[in-house]
């Protein structure tokens, strides 16, 4: 299997708020959004210009950082 593309993935405390911010601040397009049974975002792909990035809600296995100084 060859890697077709790579993009950063951001793990955040509130993925929907982050998506709203990226759409307003950068004119990002929400390409896809997937949630789990509780409604948490497990993967959302955004695009602005030539840039793509993914966002997801933090969880026990992949926690969001809470220390803004790091």
Q: Kindly report, residue by residue over 19-56, the tens digit of the pLDDT.
A: 999 999 999 999 999 999 999 999 999 999 999 999 99
Predicted local confidence at residue 53, as pLDDT: 97
What is the band of 67 on the pLDDT scale with cuts at 50, 70, 90?
confident
Domain boundaries, the chain: 1-29+53-61
Helical residues (DSSP H) of 1-70, grouped into ranges: 15-26
Calpha distance 21→16 (Å, rounded): 9
- The phi, psi pair for 27, rounded to 5°, reads 65, 30
Going from the C-alpha of 64 to that of each of 21, 31, 35, 50, the distances in angstroms are 17, 22, 16, 26
Q: Is the pLDDT of residue 65 over 90?
A: no
Taking alpha carbons only, the member of 24, 18, 2 closest to residue 53 is 18
């Amino acid at each position: 299997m060859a890697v077709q593309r790579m993009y950063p993935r951001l793990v955040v405390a509130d993925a929907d708020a982050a998506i709203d911010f990226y759409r307003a601040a950068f004119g990002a397009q929400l390409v896809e959004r997937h949630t789990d049974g509780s409604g948490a975002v497990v993967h959302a792909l955004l695009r602005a210009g030539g840039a793509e990035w993914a966002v997801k809600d933090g969880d026990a296995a992949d926690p969001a950082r809470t220390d803004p100084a790091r």
